Structure 1
């Protein structure tokens, strides 16, 4: 969101559809195999549908890291520029 909302540059404007598409397709690339292989668990009331424990790294933590680490760096840089 920071990339699309704060860092509006000519490059991002040119490839806006690609960025938006990536933000939708990348998570689906990991959600579809979980659904097809039926490896989701339902631990009980009040919990979300979670990937089974042996598959956590492959289908949850690694894809989340691909989003979260660059987003965290982008937010830190954005806040730094706002403070200047």
Structure 2
């Protein structure tokens, strides 16, 4: 499944199980909102003045870990010794 962010405005809908604007389930949208809230609560707790940099660093770290997970799942990048 490909992530499709909400566009906001009049496209977003609350009825049914999915937003008519982005196509994501309301459950997914709520869970994503909770993740964002948790990151911002942490940044506020740490009293970061450069929240944008913090969020970019988290995104880069998460993307790197995701790439490693994909490589490990597909068997790429593992060390194998043949004789």
Normalising by the smaller structure, the TM-score range is: 0.3 to 0.5
Greater RCO, 1 or 2 (C-alpha within 8 Å, sep 6+): 1
Q: TM-score if structure 1 supplies the norm length?
A: 0.35
Higher normalized helix content (fraction of residues): 1
Higher strand share: 1
Structure 1 or 2, whichever has the larger Rg, is 2
Q: TM-score, normalised to structure 2's length?
A: 0.35
